Chain A
Amino acid sequence: MSERKFGEGAQPSPVLTRRRLVLGGSLLGGALVVGYAATNFGAVAAGALSVGAVDVNPGVFGPFIKIDEAGWVTVVNRYQEMGQGTHAGLAAIVAEELDADWEMVRFESAPANAAVYRDVTMGIQGTGASHAIAGSWNQLRQAGAAARAMFVQAAARKWGLPVDSIGVRNGVVYHLASQRSATFVDLLADAAKIAPPEHPKLKDPKDYKLIGTEIVRRKDSQSKSNGTELYTQDVRLPDMLVAMVAHPSHFGGKLGSLDMGAARKVPGVVDVFEIARGVAVVAKDTWSARLGRDALKINWDDAKAETRSSDELRALYREIAKGKTDVTGAAFQTKGKVDDAFDGELFEASFDFPYLANAPMEPMNCVASVDGRRVKLTFAAQIQTVDQINCALAAITLPGMVEIETLPAGGSFGRRGTLTSDYIVECVNIARHVGGGRPVKLVWTREDDMSSGYYRPMAHHKVSIKCDEGGLPIAWRHNIVSQAIVPFGANELPTHGVKNSPYLSVASVVDARIFTPKLAVPPGLWRSVGNSQSAMVMEHTVDLLARRAQRDPAEYRRAIFTKVGNVRKLAVLDLVCKKAGWGGPLDAGWARGLAIHECFGTVVAQVAEVSVLGGNLRVRRVVCAVDCGMAIAPNQIAAQIEGGVCFGLGAALYGRITLDHGIPQETNFDAYRVLRMDEAPAVETHIVPSKKTPTGIGEPGVPPIAPAVANALLSLTGRPTSSLPFVI
């Protein structure tokens, strides 16, 4: 029997200093941002992070595949399932190479253990940058193919036949000529004795039976429809307490004075105590915790808090972009000699973006218990390794001693992926105070969630462009003002979608800078991150440039993509124009708007049909074309594009968190308006056939919709859009 141990060979010192842990954290965060930080700090560091961890027994088929005697093939998902359908795509990759029966394939969440379950590119265990499928493509194909080879070899030995003469179909191993067959279950014991091949032969994509077909559907639709799916909010453990926390009303505020007398007297309240970020009330149930919190009398100390309003910040950001403040810009792309490149007639535009909350349906929550140095977390973890490090620091233990059971998330859109593990550490602090390994469920109200920050940061973009006689850009100046989304590195995230854009490539002079003011409002990762702002800037600017040159927006883009040799964008553009009937007739009062954007390796183009009849902005149809490499699960690609359009459209129409003297004004769905059913457009998704390595799909559907609508409005009204949301 061949038992492989994973993470073997990494023998780190069991004593990690606090400094090393912090260093590890920043490396992790840097590596997390896939695409530019190629840091994979590898097996040794991942092993170090796993010191003290619960052993993962990978089993005979490795850490990603379990096959049991009932015939179930379980694919272990190391990523967060937050709705994006990752589990189905990953399971399909394994099932394809294994030739398993799709009906007998299921999935489970991996435990937190970076030595075994790190993403090969990020170097840590975590979900982000729409990377689950791309990051698993080679690894899971090989895992599936290796398991298949083990069954084939087992059958060959048993039947005394050459390996080449044996096939596998739908979980049945067979030899045609002799009419022999055996199921995976029949061969399980024999296959377990075979050493897995190191380089199993992978299928030729032309032989795929599952990948790219409609057979690949979600495995969790039933449990997510009938109310049986278990989310963090639903966790009930023996003796569990429920906690709520009163947080400072301002970002950067802290506790001044506290009178907890009345709160302590509320029936059901067990304890009230101060924690790092406020005052915790722990109680026997959620409602008692809520009443206890309401009974607290607190004066916050706002001496060092952010007390400016959104209007002031917007004015400040505009000044920063003009270079009129002491916030200096850092170049993120420069080309050619500026000298006199920007002399003469320029096209100039600027764009303001508000703070935005992620607002997933399930407000942030976490279940934790702390027993000495052992920390147990049960919740919808998104970046397990970072959470382990942060919680280890909070509980003064080792990251590996922080055990995480990952549950599905009731949405995240980036909110559960903070690099400070804010609400998770809060829960650990409370559970540590409670002590004795007693589980505590931290429940945030919607208001807690929406006023907690980690917003898509407020931003301002300013462009100055010089064009040639044909109207194409020859010099492009671009200033971005945005808080740095992660507290280290080169502030890359807000530049995504601007940096290396074909519109900059076509220009011979580029002067692009980012200015990063520091504010106490914590910025966060919002589905598609910098792309949701940069797509609006780039795609609306390009429509304005096309209009200025009196050229059709599609033809104008085609000219640029042709000039810079961007064949993927050309193909996606052609497909969307064809499917949307670009240039064709449309009902009176309606117009089409086009946008195309690359996000996390995937190119998406959208054509939106928009009207402002009766003064109401309506979007009735959005036609989308997608190049995400090889399509694994077309139905889920369509679902993600549909969802991305709705998410992006709701934000573009209505989304804003307004600060009034530093306090967020929109703290629930009454004021923070999101898209509702009567506003949801029909979304059509068309996939460009491709044999390339698959790329992400969870986020790339979001960025193009705002500029597609802005461009349709431009066509309808002749007026450009210079700020979001559209509807004030």
Chain B
Amino acid sequence: MKLNVNGEDRDFDGDPNMPLLWVLRDHLSLSGTKFGCGIAQCGACTVHLNGKAARSCSVLAAEAQGMKITTIEGVSAGHRLLVAWVKHDVPQCGYCQSGQIMQAAALLAEKPKPTDADIDAAMSGNICRCGTYRRIKAAIKDAAGVA
């Protein structure tokens, strides 16, 4: 099958029931999308499907066929969220952060000027065990230009 990832059509001839997460990581060498829980509870594997945030551990390859898949590798280097993440020294262990950024990017695409409540609502499905939540929130607000 063909999967459109970060604007490119990629061939995948494995199990169509393989979760998209493992297709990306093991077969397309896109390891920025992380495995955390496997049951859509932690958000470390968040990607965009047609611009909406989705947990790639719980989407099958066959289901992602025909959709525009965007991973952290597809986020441009100068993206305002990446800049804000570095400015605020958000990451600690860093393992959850690509999922956090994909979730935040989907939020800003939908709500360019989110309130604290919007951010909490959008981001509370993404776990960070290092507890960088307040820095994530500050970085999102910084990137969105809201105080």
Which residues of A are in contact with B by a Cβ distance under 8 Å? Answer: 82-85, 217-218, 220-231, 233-234, 236, 242, 267, 285-288, 291, 359-363, 408-413, 443, 445-446, 635-636, 639-640, 642-647, 650, 668-670, 674-678, 680, 682-683
Bound-state CA distance A227–B91 (Å) is 11
The answer to whether A680 touches B134, judged by C-beta atoms less than 8 angstroms apart, is yes
Most A CB contacts (10 A, CB to CB) among B31, B90, B128, B131 go to: B131
Bound-state CA distance A635–B87 (Å) is 12
Which residues on B sit within 8 Å (CB–CB) of A409? 93
Interface check B101, CB cutoff 8 A? yes
The answer to whether B34 touches A362, judged by C-beta atoms less than 8 angstroms apart, is yes
The residue that A225 contacts in the complex, of B39, B86, B120, B123, with Cβ under 8 A, is B86
The answer to whether B37 touches A227, judged by C-beta atoms less than 8 angstroms apart, is no
Bound-state CA distance A645–B135 (Å) is 14
The answer to whether B101 touches A225, judged by C-beta atoms less than 8 angstroms apart, is yes
Task: Scan residues 74-129 of chain B and give those whose CB is less than 8 A from a CB of chain A.
Answer: 75, 77, 82, 85-86, 89-98, 101, 119-121, 123-129
The answer to whether B93 touches A217, judged by C-beta atoms less than 8 angstroms apart, is no
Which residues on B sit within 8 Å (CB–CB) of A230? 31
The residue that B92 contacts in the complex, of A223, A643, A683, with Cβ under 8 A, is A643
The residue that B42 contacts in the complex, of A222, A236, A669, with Cβ under 8 A, is A669
Interface check B51, CB cutoff 8 A? no
The answer to whether A408 touches B94, judged by C-beta atoms less than 8 angstroms apart, is yes
A231 CB, nearest partner CB in chain B, Å:
6
A106 CB, nearest partner CB in chain B, Å:
15
The answer to whether A680 touches B130, judged by C-beta atoms less than 8 angstroms apart, is no
Chain B residue with the shortest CB-CB distance to A233: B35
The answer to whether A676 touches B124, judged by C-beta atoms less than 8 angstroms apart, is yes
Chain B residue with the shortest CB-CB distance to A635: B89
The answer to whether A670 touches B92, judged by C-beta atoms less than 8 angstroms apart, is no
The answer to whether B36 touches A362, judged by C-beta atoms less than 8 angstroms apart, is yes
Chain B residue with the shortest CB-CB distance to A681: B134
Known: A229-B94, A236-B29. A639 touches B36 (CB 8 A): no
The residue that A233 contacts in the complex, of B31, B37, B130, with Cβ under 8 A, is B31
The answer to whether B95 touches A411, judged by C-beta atoms less than 8 angstroms apart, is yes
Bound-state CA distance A665–B129 (Å) is 20
The answer to whether B132 touches A410, judged by C-beta atoms less than 8 angstroms apart, is no
Bound-state CA distance A227–B74 (Å) is 10
The answer to whether B132 touches A413, judged by C-beta atoms less than 8 angstroms apart, is no
A6 CB, nearest partner CB in chain B, Å:
30
The residue that B93 contacts in the complex, of A411, A645, A668, with Cβ under 8 A, is A411
What would 9 A/B residue contacts be, using CB atoms closer than 8 Å?
A: A220-B94, A222-B82, A361-B96, A409-B93, A446-B39, A639-B92, A646-B133, A677-B123, A680-B133
Size class of B's contact patch?
35 or more
Chain A residue with the shortest CB-CB distance to B36: A361
The answer to whether B82 touches A646, judged by C-beta atoms less than 8 angstroms apart, is no
Which residues on B sit within 8 Å (CB–CB) of A285? 14, 22, 26-27
Task: Tell me the dominant secondary structure on chain A's binding face.
Answer: loop
Which residues on A sit within 8 Å (CB–CB) of B86? 221-222, 225
The answer to whether A221 touches B90, judged by C-beta atoms less than 8 angstroms apart, is yes
Bound-state CA distance A676–B134 (Å) is 10
Chain A residue with the shortest CB-CB distance to B84: A225
The answer to whether B135 touches A677, judged by C-beta atoms less than 8 angstroms apart, is no
Chain B residue with the shortest CB-CB distance to A671: B41
The answer to whether B15 touches A287, judged by C-beta atoms less than 8 angstroms apart, is yes
B130 CB, nearest partner CB in chain A, Å:
5
The answer to whether B72 touches A674, judged by C-beta atoms less than 8 angstroms apart, is no
Bound-state CA distance A286–B18 (Å) is 10
The answer to whether A668 touches B92, judged by C-beta atoms less than 8 angstroms apart, is no
Which residues on A sit within 8 Å (CB–CB) of B134? 642, 680, 682-683
Chain B residue with the shortest CB-CB distance to A450: B37
Which residues on A sit within 8 Å (CB–CB) of B120? 677-678
Which residues on A sit within 8 Å (CB–CB) of B25? 233-234, 286
The answer to whether B131 touches A226, judged by C-beta atoms less than 8 angstroms apart, is no
Most B CB contacts (10 A, CB to CB) among A84, A286, A409, A443 go to: A286
Which residues on A sit within 8 Å (CB–CB) of B18? 287
Interface check B33, CB cutoff 8 A? yes
The answer to whether A287 touches B94, judged by C-beta atoms less than 8 angstroms apart, is no
Bound-state CA distance A229–B101 (Å) is 14
The answer to whether B131 touches A643, judged by C-beta atoms less than 8 angstroms apart, is yes
Known: A228-B32, A669-B42. A85 touches B92 (CB 8 A): yes
The answer to whether A639 touches B132, judged by C-beta atoms less than 8 angstroms apart, is yes
Known: A225-B90, A361-B93, A410-B95. A642 touches B132 (CB 8 A): yes
B40 CB, nearest partner CB in chain A, Å:
9
A226 CB, nearest partner CB in chain B, Å:
6
Known: A287-B15, A644-B131, A674-B127. A84 touches B92 (CB 8 A): yes
Bound-state CA distance A643–B91 (Å) is 11
Bound-state CA distance A724–B80 (Å) is 41
The answer to whether B85 touches A221, judged by C-beta atoms less than 8 angstroms apart, is yes
The answer to whether B130 touches A643, judged by C-beta atoms less than 8 angstroms apart, is yes
Which residues on B sit within 8 Å (CB–CB) of A217? 89
Which residues on A sit within 8 Å (CB–CB) of B72? 226-227
Bound-state CA distance A468–B128 (Å) is 46
The answer to whether A226 touches B98, judged by C-beta atoms less than 8 angstroms apart, is yes
The answer to whether B127 touches A646, judged by C-beta atoms less than 8 angstroms apart, is no
Known: A83-B130, A361-B36, A409-B93. A639 touches B75 (CB 8 A): no
B94 CB, nearest partner CB in chain A, Å:
3
The answer to whether B131 touches A647, judged by C-beta atoms less than 8 angstroms apart, is yes
Could you give, for residues 2-44 of chain B, a 1 whenever the CB lies within 8 Å of some chain A CB and a 0 otherwise? 0000000000001100110010011101011111111101101
The answer to whether B132 touches A669, judged by C-beta atoms less than 8 angstroms apart, is no
B34 CB, nearest partner CB in chain A, Å:
7
The answer to whether A227 touches B89, judged by C-beta atoms less than 8 angstroms apart, is no
A423 CB, nearest partner CB in chain B, Å:
15
Which residues on B sit within 8 Å (CB–CB) of A635? 89
Which residues on B sit within 8 Å (CB–CB) of A223? 94
The answer to whether B93 touches A362, judged by C-beta atoms less than 8 angstroms apart, is yes
Interface check B73, CB cutoff 8 A? yes
Interface check B68, CB cutoff 8 A? no
The residue that A677 contacts in the complex, of B90, B124, B130, with Cβ under 8 A, is B124
Interface check B71, CB cutoff 8 A? yes
Which residues on A sit within 8 Å (CB–CB) of B77? 226
Interface check B52, CB cutoff 8 A? no
Which 7 pairs of residues, A with B, have the shortest CB-CB distance? A227-B32, A646-B131, A224-B94, A410-B95, A83-B93, A83-B92, A227-B72
Which residues on A sit within 8 Å (CB–CB) of B29? 236
Chain B residue with the shortest CB-CB distance to A410: B95
Given A285-B14, A410-B94, 10 more contacts at CB 8 Å?
A83-B91, A225-B97, A227-B33, A236-B31, A361-B36, A361-B42, A639-B132, A645-B131, A668-B41, A680-B134
